[in-house]
Chains A and B, each alone.
Chain A
């Protein structure tokens, strides 16, 4: 596969090194002379100095025969334009852009970029998975349908505790797909499955309804809350 990569910074360097070691043909386009020299010194003649959103540079790189075009510079707008040039002018079948501002992911997709990767979002998702106090964890985005696979841990005092799944009001098009009781094996829930405090739930929900789903599980039962307060007092 012939891969053109715009941006020879840290991400571009390590990505191209990995792709080359997997046997792909790679060309990095990088503006700065020093970065180009480093890449050529370490990885061989695989770097072209120039601006990856200039058509003349892309022509020199043989962009029209690229199978994949990836732009991983620091600037979201440069990644957008480089990919658009590759697609519009050179007909590259697959373009991928790195975005740093999470809001740009949907914008880039609507402007014709085939795939966007947001480093900020990826790190944020890892933080959510690693930090146990974070209540709603994003597991996976089903991007075309705008559905999210999320994990929620049922806290003691949640209004869902002791209720069967069929009696818990969930937002539209949201489903509990798996229940993992504390220290037990995961089970496929039936409408009569009763939730206990400490259960982990894997649920699917439309992205805009996440907060609503969260509150179906997390809002504490008021009487339970009061009872807890009273017992502390």
Chain B
């Protein structure tokens, strides 16, 4: 699968590396060059520095050919804007967006986006561990 990942933090880098190891075509970018250092030397995908709210950055990442786009910056609004551009302007078939604010998850769905809130997921896991499902 051809995947574009925005945001090369711990989660982005880990996702990129594990998909890359399985032979997927990965393009990852981050606004900060330091983030890209998280990628190992044997990473076979493409990585570059760029701002995801600039349309040119998405074009450079090959968004028009992407089968999936994952938005993982630390800003919910940057994720939401880039994800909508990917979904509605470039018609990327699968768009997944990380959001920190769980209250907004429904709104994201109404905008046609698949949203995952680490806040909700992690608190559910913790609850399960503590008191069972």
In the assembled complex, A115 has its CB within 8 A of some CB on chain B = no
Number of A-B contacts (CB under 8 A): 48
* Nearest A residue (CB) for B82: A77
A80 to B84, CA, bound (A): 11
Asked if A81 and B81 sit within 8 Å, CB to CB, the answer is: yes
The B contact surface, by secondary structure, is: helix
B33 within 8 A of A: no
Q: How far is the CB of A74 from chain B (nearest CB, A)?
A: 12
**Known interface pairs A56-B103, A84-B111, A103-B55; A77-B78 also in contact (CB < 8 Å):** yes
Q: 1/0 per position for A104-121, CB-CB distance to B under 8 A?
A: 100100110000000000
How many chain B residues sit at the interface, stated as a range, is 10 to 19
Q: Which chain B residues (84-133) contact chain A, with CB distance < 8 Å? A: 84-85, 88-89, 101, 103-104, 107, 110-111
Known A-B contacts A55-B104, A110-B89; the reply to A76 vs B81 at CB < 8 A is: yes
- Min CB–CB distance A61 → chain B (angstroms): 15
Residue in A closest to B104 when the chains form the complex, CB atoms = A55
Number of residues in A with C-beta < 8 Å to the partner? 20
A contacts with B: majority SS? helix
Check B107–A89 contact: CB distance below 8 A.
yes
* Chain B residue at minimum C-beta to C-beta distance from A53: B77
Report the nearest B residue to A78, measured CB to CB: B77
Interface string of B61-84 (1 = CB under 8 A from A): 000000000000001111011001
How long is the Cα–Cα vector from A81 to B104 in the complex, in angstroms?
A: 11
Q: How far is the CB of B87 from chain A (nearest CB, A)?
A: 10
Chain A CB within 8 A of B41 CB? no
List 10 interface pairs A-B (beta carbons < 8 Å), by A numbering.
A54-B103, A55-B104, A56-B103, A76-B53, A77-B75, A77-B80, A84-B107, A85-B107, A107-B55, A111-B88
A residues with a Cβ closer than 8 A to B are: 53-56, 75-78, 80-81, 84-85, 88-89, 101, 103-104, 107, 110-111
